[in-house]
Chains A and B, each alone.
Chain A
Amino acid sequence: MLGEGILKGMAETARNFVGSFFSAQRLTTVQYPEERIAPYEAARVFPFLVYDSKNTADPADWEAGLRCVACQICEKECPPKCIYIDKSKDKKPDAVGKQQFYPARFDIDISVCMSCQICVEVCPFEAIKMDTEFELSTVDRFGGLLLDRKQLAKSNEYYHRIHPTEAAEVDDRLSEGRAKTDAKITAGAISAAIRGAELPARVAPKPIPESAQEDIATRTAAERPKGAGN
């Protein structure tokens, strides 16, 4: 029958009209500034710099706890080139107490950033992660959108809060890496001790014990430039 579809459509919209007053399932609007939904775990907006607060003397000292060692990989990989890093001239102890360079300047221009997460993927130090904070509007469109390292630094606890699963994985990876490095360092010390002890006996070369041979191999590996899992 002609006009049947129109009547069906009108009935459907009438159902919506009446239903939206009674059924919360229909009216799904969240009235944003007053009501909020918790951000999804996989949400990502702009990057931030992670600092470890537990390992330093003062938990509030973000500068000492920054994981970033100013290797500048992210700066080079960033497709829109929105990261600006100045590497420090001196070295400072990092979160685990090792002497490292640190970023004297680390700026991200969030008006240029496209939230691609490539900086996060390339970072070997788990130092840069994606934030879920999105209310970043400012009246100054140049300076206000150029975040410096102080604004970017957020604690590992904050990271755990916004991305619990991912942060737990990162922590596992980091502690595994640290345990490995510690083992290598001790192994290196042992083999050095062995070598030191055997130096005077070089006149009569003796085959190096098998275990020590392995130690040397691992030690040379450990002395390579720092890779992932440091």
Chain B
Amino acid sequence: MQETLDQIFVLLQHRLMGALPAPWQSLGGVVLGVVAIVCVFPALFALTTVFERKGLGRIQNRIGPNRVGPFGLLQPIADGIKSLTKEDIVPLSADAAVHFLAPVVLVVTVFMGFAVLPMGRNMVLVDMDAGLLFYFAMGASTELAVFMAGWSSRNKYSLMGAMRAVAQMISYEVVLLLSSVTVVMMTGSLSLTKIVEAQNQYTWGLPHWFIFSPWGLAGFVMYAIAATAETNRSPFDLPEGESELVAGYHTEYSGFKFALFFLGEYLAMFSISGLGTTLFLGGWSSPLASLAWVPSWIWFFAKLMMSIFVFIWMRGTLPRLRQDQLMNFAWKFILPMCLLNLMVAALWRFLGEGWLRWVVCSAILVAAYAGMGLNELRRKQIGPRRYRYAE
């Protein structure tokens, strides 16, 4: 029974495939998987928009949207109808073809990333040996779409937003990659299913997730920061800083194309949270050995939604960074920490089992963090603002 529930989607897929003639079966299976992904994640996006608005409202002691349907749950339908019926404006001097292609490219590349994510036991669309590499290749392609949008709009705000986005995404792409490399070093595989399998072990009922190790925790924190920047979420939402750039690279988009950008942004958030879950939080494995009877896909989506909640929580808390702060943070703080983390991961690997590696690795990371932090803080004058001329 547990087994059936755990594999219910896989069994369903096989049942439906069985109804097809033999030469079409493999194709039918892939199409089914694609359809499932294309249905589930946009539905999750619709739910997330309304929960995000409600959550932000609660964070600011407001109620949030509660007018459309019970508790405002039908709000995304109203939003969807609104964006579908809006006029689709293409600026006269815009490069119409690229302007049209940009949102399509964005959504397609983001959807491609989901292909390699294991969403449950045996639930992965393409079990690639180099799944992680494929994922990062697709993730890097979204930058192209963003720049296409900014460039083709022929609008200074769009272009500046796109330039910022590309600069930011390339800087944090490095961090994202380097923080994930530690996991590859530990498992010795780029296959995401193997990475999950490596974490799906238990000692005294506790899981072997990579986050429960010094290098894994540090890597996860850096991964989370880089992921926030990669998806242009607050506090790294400079590319669409509305106070400076109207809306950034999607200034000149309206109606359904704008909705596609919006969708793309949230899907990127889901997929990068899914990857973070897979790499550091044990993917679809349960947090306790005694809870292993709960279907694996429930754990995956629960962890995914927890990450989304943290994204929203950060958005409700932190103010937007300045461009130079953003760049300094990426290149002068996180990148050195990432490189150090690689060394720590290597040390962890070669110190062997025992308490020694815990102490040594933690000490190195904490010392580096505290040292660099103090160095940063000392150079900054933190305190009440001093006015040079106004006093």
Which residues of A are at the interface with B, using a C-beta cutoff of 8 A? 1-3, 6, 9-10, 12-14, 16-17, 19-21, 26-29, 31
Say whether B63 contacts A27, CB under 8 Å. yes
B residues near A9, Cβ cutoff 8 Å: 317-318
Say whether B62 contacts A13, CB under 8 Å. no
A residues near B62, Cβ cutoff 8 Å: 20, 27, 29
Say whether B373 contacts A10, CB under 8 Å. no
* Closest chain B CB from A147 CB (angstroms): 31
C-alpha gap A12/B59 in the complex (Å): 9
B residues near A17, Cβ cutoff 8 Å: 55, 58-59, 313, 316
* Closest chain B CB from A9 CB (angstroms): 5
A residues near B58, Cβ cutoff 8 Å: 16-17, 20-21
Known: A6-B318, A10-B313. A16 touches B63 (CB 8 A): no
17 A-B pairs whose Cβ atoms sit less than 8 Å apart in the complex: A1-B370, A1-B373, A2-B370, A2-B373, A2-B377, A3-B373, A10-B314, A10-B317, A16-B58, A17-B59, A17-B316, A20-B58, A20-B61, A26-B61, A27-B63, A29-B63, A31-B63
Known: A16-B60, A26-B61. A2 touches B313 (CB 8 A): no
C-alpha gap A1/B66 in the complex (Å): 40
C-alpha gap A16/B60 in the complex (Å): 7
C-alpha gap A9/B317 in the complex (Å): 6
Which residue on chain B has the smallest CB distance to residue A2?
B373
A residues near B318, Cβ cutoff 8 Å: 6, 9
A residues near B59, Cβ cutoff 8 Å: 13, 16-17
The 0/1 profile, CB within 8 Å of A marked 1, for residues 364-391 of chain B is 0000011011101100000000000000
* Closest chain B CB from A63 CB (angstroms): 43
C-alpha gap A20/B55 in the complex (Å): 10
Which residue on chain B has the smallest CB distance to residue A3?
B373
For the A-B complex with A3-B373, A10-B314, A17-B55 known, give 20 more contacts whose Cβ atoms are closer than 8 Å. A1-B373, A2-B369, A2-B370, A2-B374, A2-B376, A6-B317, A9-B318, A10-B313, A10-B317, A13-B59, A13-B313, A13-B316, A16-B58, A17-B313, A19-B61, A20-B58, A20-B61, A21-B58, A31-B63, A31-B66
B residues near A14, Cβ cutoff 8 Å: 313
C-alpha gap A2/B373 in the complex (Å): 5
Say whether B377 contacts A16, CB under 8 Å. no
C-alpha gap A28/B60 in the complex (Å): 11
A residues near B55, Cβ cutoff 8 Å: 17
Which residue on chain B has the smallest CB distance to residue A5?
B382
A residues near B372, Cβ cutoff 8 Å: 2
Chain A CB within 10 Å, residue with most, of B317, B370, B374: B317
The 6 closest A-B pairs by CB, nearest first: A2-B373, A13-B317, A13-B59, A9-B317, A17-B58, A20-B58
Which residue on chain B has the smallest CB distance to residue A15?
B59
* Closest chain B CB from A204 CB (angstroms): 85
* Closest chain B CB from A128 CB (angstroms): 38
C-alpha gap A13/B374 in the complex (Å): 26
C-alpha gap A121/B209 in the complex (Å): 75
B residues near A26, Cβ cutoff 8 Å: 61
A residues near B317, Cβ cutoff 8 Å: 6, 9-10, 12-13
